[in-house]
Amino acid sequence: MNFVPVIIISLILLVITILLAIADRLLVTYGQCKITVHQEGQAKEFTVEGGSSLLSDLTENKIDVRASCAGKASCGYCKVRVLSGGGPILPTEEIFMSREEKHSGMRLACQVKIKEDLDIYIPDFLTTVKSIVKNKTYDPKLRWQFIKNDQEYGVPVKAKTKLAHNDKKKVHEIIKEYKDVAGAIVPVLQKIDSTFNYLPEPVLRLTAKAIDMPLSEVLRVVTFYNAFSLEPRGKHLITVCLGTACHVKGAGDILCALEDRLGIKTGQTTEDMMFTIEGVRCIGCCGLAPVLKVGEDVHRLMTVKKVQKLVEMYGNA
Ligand code: FES
Ligand code: FES
């Protein structure tokens, strides 16, 4: 078989593509364009030189958009919602869009070329993180399940609550305490977590602002460590060891007895906010298994019978 014609056609196409790309760069000028980004309850505006990609302009202006394929239009992670502007959807983008998404203006930021003013919407990063934590996976589509008619919904009301003056003061005091410690984000979050018993959303926003760190970066740390919680926890955190030694000695039965007694499942909090149950892998007392912790108190050689007494003791504390 003679491949020469195929090679010649491919070369011609390649040359045409290169010439078009050069012509586009050198001959077409789009002038200055304004990009308005709605994110985390705020609108940010900046002016860019037209002709570049939306993703690069967003990244340059410190707008956090996931993009794992580096603009090759093959990962689908860089989705944003274009409210106005942005030109027609490209075939490469269509692969990643459901019909519903197409109708609501979803675009791959790496495929949109800035030719005119653009208005875009990026969902609250905290909402995204919460859905990742809840679903234990990152699915780009989950970012958008909270959006309907340009409104965020499904965000718990308490997450929107403003911070009381006293709580603001507490956060500033903690940050001040660590102000001269390099990379103190973990101890700062630990202290905040133990002060509030979890990491409330307004506190995280205030912390990010006060230490001049993007909220997304703070959340990256928060979700990396199991010890941090984005949900309110009870006054007493009961941590049941489910490591091998404890498992063999009946940790499963103890956990069931606790869940039955408190009427909640592992990971949940009682309605009166007294108890939260969590499971961990080994707390370093294997010789005295099965073991559980209530706050910082370690209870060794636990039995199902002792569960009842334990709950009563801390319930009255
Ligand atoms: S960066 Fe991967 S699709 Fe846009
Ligand atoms: S396995 Fe439970 S303390 Fe080690």
pLDDT digits over 223-270, tens only?
888 788 888 888 899 999 999 999 999 999 999 999 999 999 988 889
Q: In Å, how far are 247, 287, 306 from 243, measured between CA atoms?
A: 6, 12, 20
Ligand 2 centre to CA of 243 (Å) is 5
Atom of ligand 1 nearest to the CA of 67: 1
Residue type, 196: F
Band (pLDDT 50/70/90 cuts) for residue 160 is very low
Ligand 1 centre to CA of 76 (Å) is 5
**Mean per-residue pLDDT for 182-197?**
88
Tell whether the model's pLDDT for residue 134 goes beyond 80: no
Ligand 2 centre to CA of 247 (Å) is 8
**Mean per-residue pLDDT for 30-51?**
85
How far is it, in rounded angstroms, from Cα 112 to Cα 90?
A: 9
**Mean per-residue pLDDT for 60-88?**
85
So what CATH class is 146-232?
Answer: mainly alpha
The hierarchical CATH code for the domain 32-135 is: 3.10.20.30
* Residues with a CB atom less than 6 Å from ligand 2: 241, 243-246, 282-286, 289, 291
Domain ranges of the chain: 32-135, 146-232, 236-315
Burial class (CB in 10 A: 0-12, 13-18, 19+), 123: buried
Backbone phi and psi for residue 179, each to the nearest 5 degrees, phi listed first? -60, -30
**Mean per-residue pLDDT for 33-51?**
85
- The reply to whether ligand 1 has any atom less than 6 angstroms from the CB of 77 is yes
Percentage of the chain exceeding pLDDT 70: 85
Residue type, 133: V
Query: Residue 216: its pLDDT value, please?
Result: 76
**Mean per-residue pLDDT for 112-122?**
89
How many C-beta atoms surround the C-beta of residue 272 within 10 A? 10
Which residues, in sequence order, are CB contacts of 277 under 8 Å at separation 6+?
A: 238, 240, 255, 258, 259, 262, 264, 265, 266, 267, 268
Tell whether the model's pLDDT for residue 26 goes beyond 50: yes
Q: Which two tokens stand for residue 180?
A: 């001269």
Query: Residue 158: its pLDDT value, please?
Result: 41
Ligand 2 pocket test target in 249, 280, 286 with most atoms within 8 Å of CB: 286
**Mean per-residue pLDDT for 50-67?**
87
How far is it, in rounded angstroms, from Cα 35 to Cα 118?
A: 5
Tell whether the model's pLDDT for residue 98 goes beyond 80: no
Fold of 236-315: Glutaredoxin (3.40.30)
Q: Cis peptide leading into 290, omega within 30 of 0?
A: yes
Question: Which ligand has the nearest atom to the CA of 71?
Answer: 1
Q: In Å, how far are 35, 95, 120, 153 from 123, measured between CA atoms?
A: 16, 21, 10, 11
